[in-house]
A and B are shown apart, each in its own frame.
Chain A
Amino acid sequence: MPLPQEFDHNEWFLLISLVLIYGVMFLLPKHIPTTITILVMIFSILSARFLDHLMAGPTINFYDMMDTGKYDLTDVFLYFLYGPFGYFFIYVYEKFNIQGLAVLFYILICSLFSIGYEWLNVHFDVFNYKNWALRYSFTVYMGVQAITILFYHFVKNRYELLKASNT
């Protein structure tokens, strides 16, 4: 796996983001069982990986990540950024028991926040758009966040069933 061509602003942005976001995650009081947390985090990482794999590959290439169009080592670290984001998304959803139409508003607000953060990523050359626009990402975030909530409910339901079967 290639290393970054130069350790410059985009790598620094990624590194600082990772330290901050994982720091906040570990400082937050635990609210979701670790098993579910692990699954939600991997699911979030995988969602990003899937979309990049399908949309930023050699055949269909809407954007590049970091320094090259290849699958760099820093790309892997970039994916690890999505895990805590997925966790925070579900954490707030669960903590405030968001229900009904509020779910739609919650997804809208989180999607807006996500494109705000993506705008920063574009600014720091983490993403280099080719045939892509920030507006498209909003639609993708809406879809992915809705699927993440469905995934969370599925996993939580199974978790509770399995736990109940053990008691």
Chain B
Amino acid sequence: MEHVVFFDLIIGLLIATTVINKRLNILENIFILITLEFIITGYVAVLTINLGLWEMAKNAEPYTILRLHEIIILPVLYLWYFNLLDAFKSLLGKSVLTLGALLIFYGSEYLLVRWNVITYNSWNAWYSIFVLFGVIIFIQLLRRGFKHRMLKEGIPN
């Protein structure tokens, strides 16, 4: 039953992401999304296949849920975060948003653990939060470079 709820959440998230007005322009959104997809699928592969720190459930249903989580849910949540980030001008506002976003990102991973989609081996929540924060920093750096390039070519924010 909870897995069905998960699919409902994905559809809802996708609809909301499509219809909502975004603060960043479409090219920057595409850049963030496709870069995130590459990074997230990469670290999930390292944690599951290479290091065995996350054990994946073998059945088709949990496998699909994990794939949907790394390909749709997490990247789209990050996209929301980066769009909202520009709305906050003060450092305090940005910090609170980042903290809240990390909790939501981890919350989505926690659901995977709770539903036995993944099982932690010598891994804990703090490591995940650290990795999720690392992704924010990395994307933020790449995003700045891309933004700089866009401005040089006369594309406004």
Contact residues of A with B, CB < 8 Å?
1-2, 33-35, 38-39, 42-43, 45-46, 49-50, 53-54, 57-59, 69-71, 76, 79, 155, 158-159, 162-163, 165-167
Does A71 lie within 8 Å of B42, measured CB to CB?
A: yes
Complex: A158 Cα to B27 Cα, angstroms: 7
Q: Which residues of B contact A163 (CB under 8 A)?
A: 153-155
Interface residues on B, range: 20 to 34
- Please pick, from B25, B31, B35, B49, the residue contacting A70 in the complex, using a CB distance under 8 A: B49
Return the 7 tightest CB-CB contacts between A and B, nearest first: A71-B45, A166-B156, A70-B50, A158-B26, A53-B41, A162-B155, A42-B34
Does A38 lie within 8 Å of B146, measured CB to CB?
A: yes
Q: Which residues of B contact A155 (CB under 8 A)?
A: 27, 30
Q: Which residues of B contact A79 (CB under 8 A)?
A: 38
10 contacts between A and B (CB under 8 A): A35-B146, A45-B38, A46-B38, A54-B67, A59-B58, A71-B42, A71-B50, A155-B30, A162-B25, A163-B153
Counting residue pairs across A and B whose Cβ atoms lie within 8 Å, the total is 76
Query: Could you list 19 further interchain pairs (A-B, Cβ under 8 angstroms) beyond the known A35-B27, A39-B27, A45-B38?
Result: A35-B150, A38-B149, A39-B31, A42-B31, A43-B34, A49-B37, A49-B41, A50-B41, A50-B71, A57-B49, A58-B48, A58-B49, A59-B56, A59-B58, A70-B50, A71-B45, A79-B38, A155-B30, A162-B156
Q: Is B115 an interface residue (CB 8 A)?
A: no
Q: Which residues of A contact B30 (CB under 8 A)?
A: 39, 155
Does A35 lie within 8 Å of B153, measured CB to CB?
A: yes
B54-97, CB under 8 A of A: which get 1 and which 0? 00101000010001000100000000000000000000000000
The smallest beta-carbon distance between B117 and chain A, in angstroms, is 12
Q: Which residues of A contact B150 (CB under 8 A)?
A: 35
Q: Is B46 an interface residue (CB 8 A)?
A: yes
Complex: A2 Cα to B37 Cα, angstroms: 21
- Please pick, from B27, B63, B146, the residue contacting A159 in the complex, using a CB distance under 8 A: B27
Q: Which of B129-157 contact A (CB under 8 A)?
A: 146, 149-150, 153-156
Complex: A159 Cα to B67 Cα, angstroms: 31
- Please pick, from B50, B56, B67, the residue contacting A1 in the complex, using a CB distance under 8 A: B50
Chain B's closest residue to A42 (CB) is B34
